Each structure stands twice: as C-alpha cells, then as structure tokens.
Amino acid sequence: MKRPVVGVIASLHMLENRYAAQRVGERNLQAVVDVAGAMPVMFAGCPALTDVEELLEIVDGVLLTGARANVHPSRFGAEPHPKHEPYDERRDAIAFAVIEACVERGVPLLGICRGFQEMAVAYGSTLHPEIRELPGRANHRAPRQANGEFHPDQDVVFGDRHDVRLVSGGAFAQLFGRETIRVNSLHGQGILEPGKRIVVEGVAEDGTIEAIRISNAPGFALGVQWHAEYDPQKNPINRALFQAFGEAVAAKKRAV
C-alpha cells in the first residue's frame, strides 16, 4: 500500500536578496517520513502557485510549518511595524484558505509555531508581536550567546526550556498520557486573545498559550507553539504528536 501524502507548506525566501524562492525546513519533511509514516510534498505558500482545491485532491493531510516571517497584523486588526518584520502575506493568504478547507472537510491538519498562529488567527484570535513585552512573560525567543549571536549548538537552541500545563482530560493530555510536558521555545509572536473556536489545551508557566485545537472540527486539527518537528525521532512528546497526526492521515487515505 502506498504511503499517505502530507502537504507541507513552504515560505518565501529571497536568495541573495534578489531571487524569490520557496523553502521548507528539512526537519519538517524528515518528521513526516520517519514518524508520521507519510510522503511529504512541499507546496508553495503563494496563491498564484497553489490551488487549494487541487492540493486537497492530492494530499491526505497538511502540515503548517514554522517560519521566519510573522503573520501580518492586518489579519487580526493590528497595525504593522518595521520592527516586527518580515511578513509573508502570500503565505498568509494560502495558509488561511488551506486551514478553512481542511477543517471544513476533515482533512488532518497540524500547525507548528507560525502554523499554530495561523490556525489561531484563522478562527478569530489576536496575536501579540512580542510576547516577552507583556508583564510577567518570559522571553520565548531562541537562546543567544553573550555577544548577541544565536547559539551555534542546535541542541541548545532547540532544547526543552519550559513546562506546559495541559488541560486535564483534553486531547493533548490524552495523547501524551500526562498533564505536564516540557518543550522548546523559539518564537516572539504568540496568541493574545483566543478566538471562539480556539480551544486552549496547553499553557506555559508564564501564561503563554502553547497548544490548541479547533472546536467542532470533524478531523484532526491541532496546533502547537513549540517546534515539535525538531526531534520527534527521539523525543517522546513530539513523537506522540507526529504519530497521532500520521494515524489521522492514514485513516483519511483509507476513507477515500
């Protein structure tokens, strides 16, 4: 039997500051292959290049990845500011259309970091461009060295940094078999006020929302703020998440 297919959204990247390209972090693709047991197919985060109807005829699930660019503030009623750039409005457009279509049709959907934020905003949430600026909040951005440069060791950058408390009896608590997990943290923007269909299932020690699901979704529709794609091959929490996504994708393929 052929493996199910997972569409993995790409993001704009300027090569040499001149050539527009679409890219996906390889760890996302490896996680889909190794843990979800599916075939990853990258699709452009651009409406001019990706037709949502055609995409959903090809894939059995969709992974919304993290990315350097923030969701554009106009999507949640705020003003853009140069210090919160870059933005990727083409990806915003295709991601929001894909989210709506997947949730409506029961196509398994997993959002990570920016993908988590896209899912939240798609259903009425607002975001704060710098969570660390809110009173009592921690700095959730990637760790840096004393000289301000990013740490060169990726295991340090993506190392677990804080706990997340899960809702007792919720989807994530059942999935992980526990009510407290520990995760990495590499984001500046985060959910400020969740929309009506956003069910908050996990919260960091400082109150930052870390895990959500879409209420009344007929299929798998979960999002996490942390980078679960980094180490699901060895991290039991991230492995469980990608395995559950893979099972949902496989079931969707069998149902066709």
Instruction: Given the residues 118, 201, 210, 229, select the one marked as catalytic.
Output: 229
Closest CA to 209 of 228, 185, 230, 232: 185
Tokens 């001149």, located at residue: 18
Residue 133's DSSP bridge partners are none
Q: Does residue 79 carry a catalytic annotation? A: no
Q: Which long-range contacts (CB under 8 A, 24 or more apart) does 143-151 make?
A: none
Instruction: Given the residues 46, 84, 113, 187, select the one marked as catalytic.
Output: 113
89 contact partners, CB below 8 Å, separation of at least 6: 72
Q: Does residue 85 carry a catalytic annotation? A: no
Torsion of CA 197, 124, 176, 137, to 10 degrees: -140
Q: How far apart are CA 95 and CA 97, in angstroms?
A: 5
Q: Does residue 227 carry a catalytic annotation? A: yes
Phi-psi region of 254 (alpha: psi -120 to 50; beta: other; left: phi over 0): alpha
Q: Which residues are catalytic?
A: 113, 227, 229
